Amino acid sequence: MSIALYPGTFDPMTFGHIDLAKRALKIFDRVVVAIGVNPQKNPIFSAEERSDMIREALNDDRFEVDSYEGLTVHYAEKRGIHTVIRSLRTLDEFESEIAMTTANRVMLPEFESIYLPPSSQYAHISSTLVRVIGQFGGDLSPFVPPHIEKRLREVFPQA
């Protein structure tokens, strides 16, 4: 069985994330969506809240949702996963992702990175953009599913 790791903060998960995860299932039998938890950051949703929202958004038994702290490559090694799925939206992301791929392969030579470009209708979407739009009361429906929009409205009640 082929398994891929799809790591991210997913704060919140967007239509772009959902699209990429579902496209990964065309290549792999299972995808582990792993929420990276950085104790130095203050996400708007806890890892548990994000897990719940992701499970509802993906709604497919071939996805597993988990969370981890530390390096993604260490988490992958612990889980016995040797392939990571990443998206590339910009040239800046390409440069940083290549550097990360190189470092990961130094630490775990069998660790492979597969880059999927975003679908054109989602290329402009990021979690940061969604948070800003939510904070200022903009329409979130083009960017996130209704259940996530509802949660964002609870976080940003003035919106």
| Tokens of residue 127, six digits | 């979690």
Which member of 86, 87, 127, 151 is catalytic? Answer: 127
Q: Which residues contact 32 (CB under 8 A, 6 or more apart)?
A: 3, 4, 5, 6, 63, 64, 65, 66, 79, 81
Which member of 22, 74, 82, 89 is catalytic? Answer: 89
Q: Which residues contact 55 (CB under 8 A, 6 or more apart)?
A: 63, 65
Which member of 17, 86, 131, 151 is catalytic? Answer: 17
Q: Is 41 a catalytic residue?
A: yes
Q: Is 124 a catalytic residue?
A: no
Catalytic residue list: 17, 41, 89, 127
